[in-house]
Structure 1
Amino acid sequence: MAKPTILLVDDSVLMRTIIGDIVRADDELSLVGAAENGKVALEMVKSLKPDIVLLDIEMPEMSGLEVMEHLSLMSRAKVIIISSVAQVGSPEANEARALGAVEIIAKPSGTMSSRPCPQEGSRHRRCHPPRRRLTPAREALSLRFGASFPER
């Protein structure tokens, strides 16, 4: 079975980098593109025909919810919302579900620090927490689709 292809859509360069790294680290997933807003995403969907779209809600030019309205008419891609505003049970999450989102993942909140580890060379839990067995994106895909991923 071919790897599911993924299009990542988020206006934040930082989030595109972090989420892109998570997806690229999984050998069973293929990141085929990244878009900075909804308008660009719709053009990319036409040409790339991804199996899955990882989609933010709040973006300039066209929101993730607006993208979903158009996407359902032009693609069979599954949509996974990755957003800080679409928390489970929120109006945005409910609307995304109504528009066909298969999963909603909350973006991490809080601050990130670029300060170096105070114990250089060590791998202690405060600066280097243990890695989870499944990445959030992979966990959502596994929960939703089980052992096999959707085919085109």
Structure 2
Amino acid sequence: MAHKVMIVDDAAMMRLYISSFISSLPDFKVAAQAANGQDALDKLETTPDIDLILLDIEMPVMDGLEFLRHAKLKTRAKICMLSSVTVQGSPHAAKARELGADGIVAKPSGTVSHDLEEKSGEELASVMRSLVA
């Protein structure tokens, strides 16, 4: 049975790239997508059996860090930050960990990383699998 993933990113193209990548993994499937943290919280109400959330930080309405503050009360899904500002050792990465992020993978080429699969696919798949194991 495939693990259900929610993609939370304000960039529609990035959601498309992430979705395409996930569809190449036999053990995962996209169950929901959201354009910001508030949208994601609302979708957790209607899609309660999410196993993993891939979460951007910089988004309008509600950013990823604010979402983290609320999400741990609403879901048991593992949360992996997938953002251009969560490079290893950055203040954003540290704050995300402090707020309960289970994993962190940096987008390889900025906000909309068209080369996500090519440059970070192996790392992202590995982190995703370790979080749902």
Fold shared, TM-score > 0.5 on shorter chain: yes
The amino acid across from 1:58 in the alignment is: E
What TM-score, normalized by structure 2, do the two folds share?
0.86
Tell whether 2:124 aligns with 1:137.
yes
**Percent identity, aligned pairs only?**
37
Q: Residue 61 of structure 1: SS of its match in structure 2? A: coil
The amino acid across from 2:101 in the alignment is: A
Alignment map for 1:1-152 (pairs within 5 Å): 2-49=1-48, 50-109=50-109, 135-142=122-129, 144-145=130-131, 149-150=132-133
1:137 shift after superposition? 2.6
Structure 2: runs of 5+ lacking an equivalent: none
Structure 1: runs of 5+ lacking an equivalent: 115-130
1:37 shift after superposition? 0.9
1:104 shift after superposition? 0.7
1:101 shift after superposition? 1.1
What TM-score, normalized by structure 1, do the two folds share?
0.76
The amino acid across from 1:53 in the alignment is: I
Two-structure CA RMSD over aligned residues (Å): 2.0
1:30 shift after superposition? 1.4
Greater Rg over alpha carbons, structure: 1
Deviations 1:8-36, CA, capped at 9 Å, x for gaps: 00001111010110011111101101111
1:140 shift after superposition? 1.2
The amino acid across from 2:35 in the alignment is: E
CA contact (8 A) 1:23 1:137 kept: no
> Which contiguous aligned blocks of 4+ residues in structure 1 show a shift greater than 2 angstroms?
134-137
**Structure number with higher relative contact order (C-alpha < 8 Å, ≥ 6 residues apart):** 2
CA contact (8 A) 1:37 1:60 kept: yes
More helix as a share of residues: 2
